[in-house]
Structures are given as structure tokens and as C-alpha cells.
Amino acid sequence: MTRTESHDRKQALDEFIKAMPKVELHLHIEGTLEPESAFRFAQRNGVSLDFENVEALRRAYDFENLQSFLDLYNATMSVLCTEEDFFDLTWDYLARVAEQNVVHTEIFFDPQGHTRRGIPFATVVAGISRALEAGRQHFGISSRLILCFWRHLSEEDAFATWAQAQPHLDHITAVGLDSSEVGHPPEKFQRVYAAARAAGLKAVAHAGEEGGPDYIRGTLDTLQVDRIDHGIRCFEDSALVHRLIDEQTPLTLCPLSNLRLGVSKNLVSYNLARMLALGLNVCINSDDPAYFGGYITENLLAVRVAQDLVAAQVLTLGRNAIDASFLGAEDKAALHRRLEAVAVEHGFGPSG
């Protein structure tokens, strides 16, 4: 292939990345709060932010590590007060990713970040769910909602949140675990996860983002999750890597997040191509796109460039996300057909 042909091929692949029907599985809805919206909500609710204006808040999006991000993330979500706020936040996210051809999304929310400020659990779920339903009708985006427990809080707190969730379980598909990882191992949440699984919910958990391989192993053994969120630090333990391959545990990777929080030095040394070559079940997601400089398409484009991915690898990422979702078999099959059709249209079909 000449240099020009190779350049054209990369451009065609980027066009395919933009056009491909996408599934997002690791997205914190509070992490879609753009600075402009934060000020809009603050103003209409009479809440003050510690920043003078939008630019000053955006300048603060320069993080040293997970904790420095969480401090700002937890403080900024205090502008979300009413059902309308949660509706608007979720609607704005859906409108944005509809343009990126997201067709299915499974979103986290952090109820403890709201109930601790006196916002009822019902208000949060009502606003988010109403927007998800409107998004289904207006954009054709299907969705699932995942209740995340904050791991820096106690087991008792998690159980109190689980009790508040009971009248709303028809809106909630799974439980998750997020916030500060180190010092808050998965074992602390074994009983609340058992209760959620007994009630028929699916389970996911952040592990191996800030914490080492022990956190991933503990999550698999004690929480019996369907997916691991992040899991990027699995490479520090080769037996664990083999287990993840054997069990085909989905890992929901978030490259721009890992870059911005210093989990990865850069995206060239990111282990994505290696993970794909080993047959790990990985997919690409945006985590907290308002804070980390990109939604799902920007994440995919960034790793395409840094890892010099080819079409077959991009397709594997897309297929993995469909299969790792909580959709039923028929919906998954329909999404696979849509993905393959767009690949063919872009010259990346079976013989492309």
C-alpha cells in the first residue's frame, strides 16, 4: 500500500468510526454535566459554585488523579436539584450522542451524591427515566439504568440506598460500584450485591482503575459481576489476564478518562491492541465525557490513531459492546446486523 492509499484508508476508517452504530456501557450521567449546564442549573436553583464563570470551571478540569477528579465531580453535581434538572442532563447527553450514532446506552447514576443533599431518590430516577423514555421515542436510543453505590461510604449506607431503590426497580437493570477505589475493596459490598442479584438485577463494578489486580480478582470472586468497569490494571497479574480471557469477562475501557486521570501515561502505550490480540473482551466508552474531553466517538478516534487500529479491530470493539450489553438476544442480533451493514457501506465488509 502506498502512503496515500494508507492515508485514505485511515480517513475512511475514521469516517466509519463516526458512522457506526455504537453501544456505550460505561457512562456516569453526572459526568456529562458540561460547565455551561452546571452554571445554568446553579442559577435556576440558586446554588452557588466555587468558580467565577464557565471558563474558570473548565480550567479546573485538570486532574492529578482519580480523587482530584472525584472531589470536583462530587461538588459540581450539587447544582442538580429538581426532576427537571435530571431530565435536562440526561436529555442533553442523549441529544449529543444521537449525533454520534449511539443506538444503545447503559448509564450509571450516583444516588448517594443526591440523597445526601436532601434530593429524594424518586426525583432523580423520575427525571432520568423520563428522559431515557423520551430519548427512545425521539432518537431511537434504547437504554438501561445502573444504580451505583459510592464505595467510600459504608455498607450500611449502600443498604439504605438499596432500600430507597425498592419502589423503582422497574427502572433499574443493574447495580454498580464507583468512587474512590483504593482502600475500599469490593468485599465490603458482597452482601448488598447478593441482595441485588437475588432481586434479579445484573451487576457491574469499577475495578482495576486505581486499584491493582487484587481489586479485579476480589470483584469477580465476591461480587459475581457481569462486567468489570475499567480493569486496565489486569496486566499486573498474568494469571488474572488468563482468567479474564477464559471467562470472557467484558472490560469497559475508557481511554480518555485513563489518560486524564493519570492511570495511563499516554494512549500510545495503552494496552488496547495487546488486549484485542490476546482475545480479552474489551469495548470503548467515555466514562465522564464532560470532564475528560470527549464522548464515545472521540474516545474511539483517539485510540484508532494512538494504537494504529485497523477496521477489524474497530469492528471487534463494536461487536463486543453489543454482546456485553444487557439487551436481549433479538435486540443484540438486530444491532449486529446494523453494524455489519454500515461496515459494508464503508468498504469494511467481510471482503473489505
Burial code (b: 16+ CB inside 10 Å, e: under 16) for 238-267 equals eebbeebeeeebbbbbbbbbbbbbebbeeb
Cell of 89: 442532563
Using rule CB under 6 A, residue 179 touches ligand HPA = yes
Site string for Zn ion, 235-264 (x = CB under 5 A): ------------------------------
| Secondary structure (3-state) at 107 | strand
Of 72-80, 95-103, 217-225, 279-287, which part binds Zn ion (CB under 5 A)? 279-287
Residue 83 interacts with which of ligand HPA, Zn ion, none, CB < 5 to 8 Å by class: none
Of 121, 287, 300, 313, the residue at the interface with Zn ion (CB under 5 A) is: 287
Using rule CB under 6 A, residue 202 touches ligand HPA = no
Q: Which of 114, 125, 271, 162 is nearest to 208 (CA)?
A: 271
Using rule CB under 6 A, residue 186 touches ligand HPA = no
- Active-site residue, from 187, 209, 298, 340: 209
Q: Which of residues 113-142 bind ligand HPA (CB under 6 A)?
A: none
Residue 31 interacts with which of Zn ion, ligand HPA, none, CB < 5 to 8 Å by class: ligand HPA
Q: Look up 209 and say whether it is catalytic.
A: yes
User: Closer CB to ligand HPA, residue 233 or residue 346?
Assistant: 233
**CB-based contacts of 50, cutoff 8 Å, min separation 6:** 75
Using rule CB under 5 A, residue 24 touches Zn ion = no
Which residue has the CB atom at the shortest distance from Zn ion? 287
- What is the chain's alpha carbon radius of gyration, rounded to the nearest angstrom? 20
Of 21, 23, 28, 114, the residue at the interface with ligand HPA (CB under 6 A) is: 28
Q: Which residues bind ligand HPA (CB under 6 A)?
A: 28, 31, 66, 73, 178-179, 206, 209, 257, 287-288
**Catalytic annotation, residues:** 209
